[in-house]
Amino acid sequence: MDLKTDQRIAIYRGADLPSQYTWSPFVSKLELRCRLSGLKYICEIGFAPSGPKGKIPYVEVTLPGQSQVWLSDSTLIAKDFVNKGLLRDLNANLSPVEKGHDLAIRALMEDKLAFYDTHERWVKNYYVMRDHAMCKLPYPARFIAGNLAYRGIIQRLHEQGTGRFSDAEISIFTEEVWDAINGLVEASMEKKPEKEECFWILGGNEPSEADTTVFGFVVANLVSDSAPWSRNLLKTKFPNTVEYARRVHRKFFPDYQMWD
């Protein structure tokens, strides 16, 4: 994307995938958030430990007459950009009830589904995830770093609670989340009979913050080779949720490769 010479927004995505979605839902969430407001940015690779909070995505912001700033966490980045006037406030015109629904959807996915996804990727499909996340490391280092990451993730999942459930139970919980999201998608879809028109998770004419989260998680599970079960679940049981993401992709990410 072209930028004015006096402004630079760089999103560090943690993957060398030009014109492709990454496996992180939070990266695609932030990218959609920028594109909904027409904010131009460039993509950099980056590495999670290098970010301000030790995770992906993080951004480098250079604005006219200001010092360079580094920010992390997709939600905090979006809030900072709104305060700076770089992004419009998607939830400004929501009613109090709608704001509650929006926050509940985001929490359901970011604070619940995210842990189920982590279990599928790092526990059930460890080698695929390790080799993708650590592809830049030579094998001996990748083996050591992978084991350290695995142990840390197992401990965090156990402390959070997800790690205390069986694989079958986690699969049931995951499907419940997607079933709830799909119900909202289908209710909104009925209001937009036009085949290619975007429709939004709260059923309104404009997107809210929740749409960026939902889109990010749908896309991440469709493109990630370490999430075969979730990918199949979305494609076979919740095709309308995939269609929701496809329409957003066609309108806002025409320069990106679409999932299979």
**What's the rounded Cα separation, in Å, for the pair 191 and 204?**
9
Q: Render the chain in DSSP notation, one character per residue.
A: ----TT-EEEEE-SS--TTS--S-HHHHHHHHHHHHTT---EEE---GGGSTTSSS-EEEEE-TTS--EEEESHHHHHHHHHHTTSS--TTTT--HHHHHHHHHHHHHIIIIIHHHHHHIIIIITHHHHHHHHTTTS-HHHHHHHHHHHHHHHHHHHHHHSGGGS-HHHHHHHHHHHHHHHHHHHHHHHTT--STT----TTSSSS--HHHHHHHHHHHHHHH-TT-HHHHHHHHHH-HHHHHHHHHHHHHH-TTSPPP-
Residue 78 shares a structural domain with residue 100: no
Asked whether residue 50 carries a pLDDT value surpassing 70, the answer given is: yes
Residue 121 shares a structural domain with residue 220: yes
Residue 16 shares a structural domain with residue 133: no
Residue 108 shares a structural domain with residue 194: yes
- pTM, entire model: 0.95
**What's the rounded Cα separation, in Å, for the pair 245 and 135?**
28
In the chain, the number of structural domains is: 2
Residue 118 shares a structural domain with residue 162: yes
Residue 66 shares a structural domain with residue 101: no
- For the stretch 88-118, pLDDT in tens is 999 999 999 999 999 999 999 999 999 999 9
8 A C-beta contact, residue 208 and residue 91: yes
- Compute the mean pLDDT over every residue in the chain, rounded to the nearest whole number: 96
For residue 115, what is the domain's CATH number? Answer: 1.20.1050
Asked whether residue 21 carries a pLDDT value surpassing 60, the answer given is: yes
For residue 76, what is the domain's CATH number? Answer: 3.40.30.10
Q: Which residue segment(s) compose the domain that 223 sits in?
A: 96-252
Residue 196: its pLDDT value, please?
A: 86
Q: Is residue 27 assigned to a domain?
A: yes
**Which of 62-66, 97-101, 212-216, 247-251 bottoms out in mean pLDDT, i.e. has the lowest?**
62-66
Residue 53 shares a structural domain with residue 123: no
Q: Name, in order, each residue with C-beta under 8 angstroms of 173's C-beta and a sequence gap of 6 or more.
A: 112, 116, 165
User: Which amino acid, 187?
Assistant: A
